[in-house]
Amino acid sequence: MHRLLNLYRAILASTVLLASATTHAQNAIKIGEINSYKAFPAFLEPYKKGMELAIEEVNAAGGVLGRRLEIVTRDDNANPGDAVRAAEELISRERVDLLAGAYLSNTGLAIADFARQKQVFFLAGEPLTDKLTWDGGNEFTFRLRPGTYMQAAMLVPEAVKLRKKRWALVYPNYEYGQSAVAAFKQLLLAAQPDAVFVTEQAAPLGKVDAGSVAQALADAKPDAIFNVLFGADLARFVREGNTRGLFKDVAVVSMLTGEPEYLDTLKDETPNGWLVTGYPWYGIQTPEHKAFLQAYQARFKDYPRLGSVVGYSMVKSAAAGIAKAGGTATAPLVAAFKGLTVDTPFGRISYRAQDHQSTMGAFVGKTLNQDGKGVMTAYQYLDGARFQPPAEVVKRARPAP
């Protein structure tokens, strides 16, 4: 009888523990995250590590509203249709509380439209097209990174100082590239009315014919080039440009190229003196960045890339928004994000109510080939809040909720 009683007690204790664990798992706050992991690993593997670090920190501090935070990821295969299907599966089968992520602008827009239709909260980390927050924006979508207008606005004042008149443009021929070039042309002509654009080379994403593009640019005899190629396309373009002497005596302004994801790939082919946006992780001396760098290196035995900062800050933003909203219901979460402030490795940012864009900024500086690897030099951090169009312009561009 005594043995049976002990066995009964053990079974009862195990049942209670199992029920408790099941309830705890069911009570977790689940973020459904969608991204192009297989297509763009250089950016998105560090990005995933940044998310993991943020999740661990949030949960170690007690979670959000006493509940654990979890990430459920899906790969969108760099395809808008697959991104929407992933979003549908996350909402209907995984029962996630909100959506997040996206790398490419076209997949980001597809998820944003799904969020609008289903009235689900979506926090976009990386897509840079201005349509995400302006003429294509909606009540349920917020964005972390500075978009193409903001980054172009950071580059143009320095571009004007180059005193170059004949500009060539090269970009991936999809939403991000088109948006970046449109913003740069608008802002450069406003600041330098005598500028002319002598050629535009729009390359298929991931399939740039770098030799033909470099030759076409050389034939146009520009004084300066504005480039927004990235990833493997950027590496091919730089190699061909170096081989053909394209960049000799030609100034280059290049969006994103200063990010370690891309400089690391260029290595000893990194050109000197390009004016770029990027992330000089090795030289940022602010307390908040030092704390992030130390934690990241201790956790992963590696240095962070810009993707790491984006993934980390996106999760921290989601946690702060949920805490402010008092839960994960969509309407309170949308209201909470309007004006939400969040501490990030780049300092404190806020999400503007008028267009749901965060005030995260970017570093602007020049490329330097140092000991066979690419770094940024002469850089400074520019607060995103300073590089917004006037409120009335945003209001005209953004549809009413």
For each of the domains in the chain, give its residue range(s) and CATH number, in order of start: 24-147+286-361 (3.40.50.2300), 149-284+363-386 (3.40.50.2300)
Using CB atoms within 10 A of its CB, is residue 118 exposed (0-12), middle (13-18) or buried (19+)? middle
364's tokens: 């602007």
Q: Is the pLDDT of residue 53 over 60?
A: yes
Please write the tens of the pLDDT for every residue from 334-378: 999 999 999 999 999 999 999 999 999 999 999 999 999 999 999
- Measured from the Cβ of residue 123, the count of other Cβ atoms closer than 10 Å reads 27
Q: Is the pLDDT of residue 50 over 80?
A: yes
Rounded-to-integer distance, Cα 346 and Cα 259, Å: 14
pLDDT for the residue numbered 69 = 98
pLDDT for the residue numbered 370 = 95
How is residue 223 annotated by DSSP? S
pLDDT for the residue numbered 9 = 56
Token pair 């909606």: residue: 138
H-only helix segments in 93-207: 105-118, 148-161, 175-191
pLDDT for the residue numbered 6 = 53
Segment 260-272 mean pLDDT: 96
Segment 13-35 mean pLDDT: 64
Please write the tens of the pLDDT for every residue from 83-120: 999 999 999 999 999 999 999 999 999 999 999 999 99
Q: Is the pLDDT of residue 300 over 80?
A: yes
Q: pTM value? A: 0.92
CB-based burial, 211-243: b 16+ in 10 Å, e otherwise: eebbbebbebebbbbbbbbbbbbbbbbbebbbe
Q: Is the pLDDT of residue 395 over 90?
A: no
14 CA to centre of own chain:
45
Nearest to 365 by CA among 262, 275, 271: 275
How is residue 399 annotated by DSSP? P
Please write the tens of the pLDDT for every residue from 3-23: 544 545 554 444 444 444 444
